[in-house]
Amino acid sequence: MPLDIVRISATSSPAPGVRVQPTLTKLVDTSTCIGCKACEVACQEWNDLPPEPTVQSGTYQTLPATTANFWNLIKFNEYEDEGRGALEWLMRKDQCMHCAEPGCLIACPAPGAIVQYSNGIVDFQQDHCIACGYCITGCPFDVPKFNPGTRRVYKCTLCVDRVSVGLQPACVKACPTSCLQFGTKEDMLEVANTRVGQLQANGFAQAAVYDPQGVGGTSVITVLTHGDRPELYGLPKDPHIPAAVRLWKGPLKWLGNVAMAGGLAAAVVHFVRFGRKNHVEADESSAEGRS
């Protein structure tokens, strides 16, 4: 796997990856999701995660949000379209988006704790994690979740262990309506755009593919019937790595390093030029009548 690593957290050397692979992508078509939650079960089963007690919040949603032990959550949002006089049930798959420019990885200070493979999968290596939570800060989708027991952060792996041996992710395998599909990003975009065309021809003029370019595009793309308003589904409209994180990891880092090195250099120069406060000179000052 090291040959696949194209980006690695907190490492001063170049990433070791040399393999070129097509970007792989999971397509979520919300218009054909029936809310069966087979994907949630498949995720728990394949990853063999500890059971998470469900929370009844008055809808079919299993939990209020994903957790460290529950990486794939179908979110159920009710939407009243007053123009059409229709009540819609908007289901959406909440999970790691596997950003091309991952804010978690960029924020991470632990060498090798977060890696990005050449197929686009962003993966946490919990054995290198130092439990700082910077990835939680860096993620524009609030995906990484902290497990207080192990003091490590977890999220969807896009079933990297299945994908790397040629299988599709467990959730995709389990989906009974094929609203989940998996393939190269090129292929998935083609399928998604075809579907968007069908939806637009059938009364959903605003249908669109959610593949946010603010994070360089994602390896989980979603067909939204209300593509102009992703926030109806609980998705950020135009997600970016938080500006403060970009500033901190970008210009501030250079400014800070130069300032710290400059401070040390200034001390050396000052010492060589002016040296210690001289007692002889102080004697002169007292001789000149001070005090």
Binding site for another protein (CB under 8 A): 10-12, 107, 109-111, 128-134, 136-138, 142, 145-146, 151, 242-245, 247-248, 252-253, 256-257, 259-260, 263-264, 267, 270-271, 274-279, 281-282, 284-286, 288, 290-291
Alpha helix (H) residue ranges in the chain: 38-47, 103-107, 134-138, 160-163, 170-174, 185-201, 243-249, 251-273, 279-287
* Beta carbons of 123 and 117 less than 8 angstroms apart: yes
Q: Measured from the CB atom, is 183 or 236 closer to another protein?
A: 236
Q: Minimal distance in Å, beta carbon 220 to another protein?
A: 20
Pairing of strands 180-184, 24-29: antiparallel
Distance CA 12, CA 173 (A): 38
Nearest residue (CB) to another protein, 20 versus 274: 274
Q: Nearer to another protein by C-beta: 107 or 174?
A: 107
Backbone angles phi, psi at 167, to 5 degrees: -95, 165
- CB count in 10 Å sphere of residue 203: 9
Shortest CB 125 distance to another protein, Å: 12
Do residues 250 and 145 lie in contact, with contact meaning Cβ atoms separated by under 8 Å?
A: no
Which residues neighbour 77 within 8 Å (Cβ) at sequence distance 6 or greater?
89, 90, 91, 92, 232, 233, 234
Extract the tokens encoding 82: 């007053």
Minimum CB distance to another protein, residue 265 (Å): 10
Give 55 or 267: the residue with its C-beta nearer to another protein.
Answer: 267
* SS3 of residue 78 by DSSP: strand
Q: How far is the CB of 250 from another protein (least distance, A)?
A: 11
Nearer to another protein, 83 or 263 (CB): 263
CB of 221 to another protein, least distance (A): 23
Q: How far is the CB of 95 from another protein (least distance, A)?
A: 17
Distance, C-alpha 237 to centroid of its chain = 15
Nearer to another protein, 46 or 146 (CB): 146
